[in-house]
Homo-oligomer: A and B are copies of this chain.
Amino acid sequence: MNYEFILKDIRPSKEEIETVSKTAHSILDFLNKTCREENIPAEAMFVGSFSKKTWLSGKSDIDIFIHFPLDADIDFLKEKGLYLGYKTSDYFNGTPSEHFASHPYLTSEIDGIEVDFVPCYLIKDASELKSAVDRTILHTQYIKSHLKEDQIDEVLLLKKFMDCVKTYGSEYKTGGFAGYLCELLILKYGTFEHALNEAQYWKYGTVIDLEDYNTANMFNDPLITIDPTDMNRNVAAALRTEKMVDFILASRNFMDIVKDDSLSPEEKESKIKKFFNPLEKAHFKERSEDEIKRELLEDFKDRGTQTLVISFDVPDISADSLHPQLNKTVESLTEKINNEEFSVFKSDYWSDEENAAIFLLELNVFRQSKYKIHEGPKVWPKKACDNFKAKWEDAVYPKDEFLVLTKEREFKTAVDYIKHIFTLENIHTIKVGKNITENLCNYRLMEIDEFLNNLDIEEDSKSDLLNFLDDFLNPGQYIKR
């Protein structure tokens, strides 16, 4: 296929490239001039998608690494790095904010473009690594020296496709494919289409080893992509099986269209285009927020389940710390509810990462009968039975080969159980993220209709939440169009 009909919309225009480049070079020049003038032994350089020319139109950001010699003191590096960032941001009237990766760095919006100022050490290969961000320089160099000019378009197609099928981004929330991984896939498979064609047949544990390091057996991950700049690292280590599977299935769905000879060229282009545009959700098309809520609630009601929402405030921690804690907690809660002989049909969590988080629990079985069978020892060993009898007295009777008793359930509804668990006293019955424990105990518990009808979420997060609920109800919709 010729994908020019897609590329014309996602490839940055000459004007965009000129505008971004102009800003970028002004900033770099200012930084390097400042270093020279103030005798700071550092030099700024471009890394990332701007440097590699692999950014999607409208999604430019400028990553500037300020590298210090390997023998520079780490505190000196941190201090001067931030200083240079702030000074540059001020000079260009930017809006700065501090962030933290392996060490603090500054992000500033300058001329409408997000600019990162990251201090680092200048390393020549992975053996010299001093901090995780230092790799970025090696990655940028590798791609720039290996990606052919005409493969830049292929990277753009793959990134855009990944983005639309929700598999793009290696932050914990997504658990998908990093930009660098997309670039390596193009190096491996040559083109976007060939990458998808091959991805259809990926297995759990598929290996991509561009430099033939033969170190794949060090890893037990769904996808193993040996970092060409470090034979001991799997670039796809953060990729969740679920996202790899989504990409495989999306690739199959896409290739089915590409290979479908019964389609006219126009039909084919129109179907392919859908994979490069945001999903049009039936619930959301020209609907008001109230209409969307109403339709979501109708869908929940139709399922004949009980859907509970546990909402609470989130602590002031990074998104990459928050998400695993939320995930771990809701998974453990789900398991424990099932252990109490209720049945969770589906559960998930959502957070705006700044203010609010919710656990969503959809239950098949949310009410149980009054009694349960409490199993004691096998009937054969008399001593164990004597002890069990001494404890429970006359209530004990044999069932199959066990002594048991019919015991009133402590929790007759899942709601009762949750109320019991979510107290400072009992919260550690479940595996709970350490930073969210306290907030969790100040939860609000509602059924989904009460929650949606009194939606207490920041205005600009509402559509994200409604999207999450729609995804919860309709899994797998992004990977087929």
Contacts and interface: CB of A to CB of B under 8 A. Distances in A.
A242 B304 contact: no
28 contacts: A200-B382, A204-B380, A241-B400, A241-B401, A242-B400, A245-B379, A245-B398, A245-B401, A249-B379, A249-B398, A252-B382, A252-B385, A302-B370, A303-B369, A304-B368, A304-B369, A304-B370, A304-B371, A345-B371, A364-B368, A365-B365, A365-B368, A394-B480, A396-B476, A397-B475, A397-B476, A397-B479, A398-B476
Contact of A412 (B304, B385, B403): B304
A399 B248 CA distance: 13
Please tell me how many copies of the chain the complex holds: 2
Contact of A379 (B248, B365, B397, B398): B248
Interface string A307-332: 00000000000000000000000000
Nearest to A378: B204
**Chain B CB within 10 Å, residue with most, of A245, A252, A341, A385:** A245
Given A252-B382, A304-B412, A246 B398 contact: yes
A317 to B, nearest CB: 28
Contacts of A477: 397
Interface in A228-283: 241-242, 245-246, 248-249, 252
A401 B305 contact: no
A476 B201 CA distance: 59
A403 B246 CA distance: 11
A26 to B, nearest CB: 47
Interface in A465-481: 475-477, 479-480
A414 to B, nearest CB: 13
Interface string A399-410: 111010010000
A287 interface: no
A444 interface: no
A202 B368 CA distance: 37
Nearest to A399: B475
Interface in A329-381: 341, 343, 345, 364-365, 368-371, 373, 379-380
Nearest to A203: B380
Contacts of A379: 245, 248-249
A242 B399 CA distance: 8
A385 B305 CA distance: 29
Given A379-B249, A382-B252, A369 B398 contact: no
Contacts of A242: 398, 400
A382 B345 contact: no
Nearest to A395: B476
B345 A305 contact: no
Given A202-B380, A245-B398, A345-B369, 17 more contacts: A200-B382, A203-B380, A242-B398, A242-B400, A248-B379, A249-B379, A302-B370, A303-B369, A304-B369, A304-B412, A305-B369, A305-B370, A364-B368, A364-B369, A365-B368, A397-B479, A398-B479
Nearest to A246: B398
A236 to B, nearest CB: 16
Interface in A181-235: 200-204
Nearest to A381: B203
Contacts of A373: 345
